[in-house]
Amino acid sequence: MKLALIPPAEQDDDGRYLNLDPEGSHGSIATRLGFFGRRILTPFRAGAGAAEHTTEAQVSIEAADSVQWVGHSTLLVSMHGLHFLTDPIWSNTPSPTPPFGPSRFVPPGLALQDLPYIDFILVSHNHYDHLDVPTLKKLAKQFPDTPFVVPKDNAALLNKHGVNNTIELNWGEQTQIGNLTISCLPAQHWSKRGIGDTRQALWSSWSVTSPNKRFYFGGDSAYFSGYKLIGDALGPFDLVALPIGAYSPRDMMQGSHMNPEEAIKAALDLRATRVLPIHYGTFDLSDEPLDEPLARFETALQTMTNNLSALILKIGERHAF
C-alpha cells in the first residue's frame, strides 16, 4: 500500500538517501571537534537533571490504548489489543565500542522479561541509540515470530546479526499487522554506523493507526516541512511522540535534531491532540543540561499554543491515550 501525498525517499548518484528539505548546517569543524572532545568525558558526567523513574505504571499493560516510556525513544505502545515497541534499547551504552560512549543515567522503565507479547517492533534509523543490535537480538530470541519494521536498506544489518523477520519500507509505504496500519514516513535526519556508510540506509518516522486511534512516532528529526505534509495526509493524531533533546550546540545539531520549541511547532503541524516528549533525560548525548529540554518544552507549550496538551511521563510510567 502507498500514500499518495507522501513522496518516496530519493537517492543521489552515489546511492545516498536525501532529506525532504535542504540540508541544514552541521556546524564548523571547530564546533564539531569541541563537541566530540567533550563527549570523551561523558563517563565522568554526573546524572543531575536526568528524567524521573517510577515503578507505578498508572494503567494496566493490557489497557486498550496506552503508552509506557521505557526511556530515551523506547516506548511500549498498546493499540487495539496489540503491543509494539519503538526504537528499543535496553543497553547501557549506545556505542560501537561499549563501554566507551554515552552513559545511561536512568535504568529502563521495564525489564525485557516483563514485556507482554510484542506483535511488532519499529526502528526509525541506524544510529546506535535507536538501532541497538544487542537489544534487537534479545527481542528476536524472546519473540521469534515478531516482525521488525524498518526503513529501506536497514534489514541487511539486522539479518547480519540473526534478526531475519524484517519488513522494509520506503517513505509513503504501508503494511498491515492485525487491525493496525503502519506507515513509513519522512524525517529530517541522516544515518551512519561506521566508516563510509553515511546515508546508505534510510531514516524515517512512523504512524500506527487503528480503527479508533492514530499514533505518530517521530524517531529522530530536525523540524521540517514534512510534518505538515504528514499531518495533512494522516492527521489528526491522538498522540504524537516527538524528540525534544540533543539540540546543543545548536549550529551543529539544528540540521538533525529539534529543540523543544520546534517540537511544539511539529506537533501543531501534525494536527496532534496530545504530544509526548521523548529523546531526553536518559543518555548524555549533547551539551544541554539533562533537565533543560523538558523545562523548555513545558514553557513552550504554555506560550506557543492553547490547542495542544502534553502527556509527560516518568520513565516506567504507563498512561492511556
**Residue 110 pLDDT > 70, yes or no?**
yes
* Mean pLDDT (whole number) for 93-104: 87
CA dist., res. 96 & res. 34, Å (int): 20
**Residue 157 pLDDT > 80, yes or no?**
yes
* Mean pLDDT (whole number) for 155-165: 98
Q: Count of CB atoms within 10 A of residue 167's CB? A: 16
User: Looking at the DSSP assignment, which residues form a beta bridge with residue 74?
Assistant: 71
* pLDDT class of 107 with cuts at 50, 70, 90: very high
pLDDT for 34 equals 77
Share of the chain above pLDDT 90, in %: 82
pLDDT for 43 equals 66
Cell 564539531 sits at which residue?
Answer: 32
Higher pLDDT, 168 or 95: 168
pLDDT for 102 equals 87
| Among 126, 164, 129, 172, residue whose Cα is nearest residue 143 | 164
* Mean pLDDT (whole number) for 37-43: 71
* pLDDT class of 136 with cuts at 50, 70, 90: very high
Cell numbers representing residue 152 in the block: 529501506
For residue 271, the one-letter residue type is: R
As a whole number, the mean pLDDT across the chain is 94
* pLDDT class of 36 with cuts at 50, 70, 90: confident
Q: Which of 48-62, 131-145, 292-306 has the lowest mean pLDDT?
A: 48-62
* Mean pLDDT (whole number) for 117-126: 98
CA dist., res. 161 & res. 155, Å (int): 10
Q: Which of 24-38, 87-101, 268-282 has the lowest mean pLDDT?
A: 24-38
* Mean pLDDT (whole number) for 82-92: 97
Q: Report the predicted TM-score, pTM, of the whole model to 2 decimal places.
A: 0.96
**Residue 45 pLDDT > 80, yes or no?**
no
* pLDDT class of 44 with cuts at 50, 70, 90: low
What residues contact 184, with CB distance under 8 A and at least 6 apart?
Answer: 149, 151, 169, 170, 171, 172, 173, 174, 204, 206
**Residue 38 pLDDT > 90, yes or no?**
no
For the segment 298-321, what is each residue's pLDDT rounded down to a tens digit? 999 999 988 899 999 999 999 999
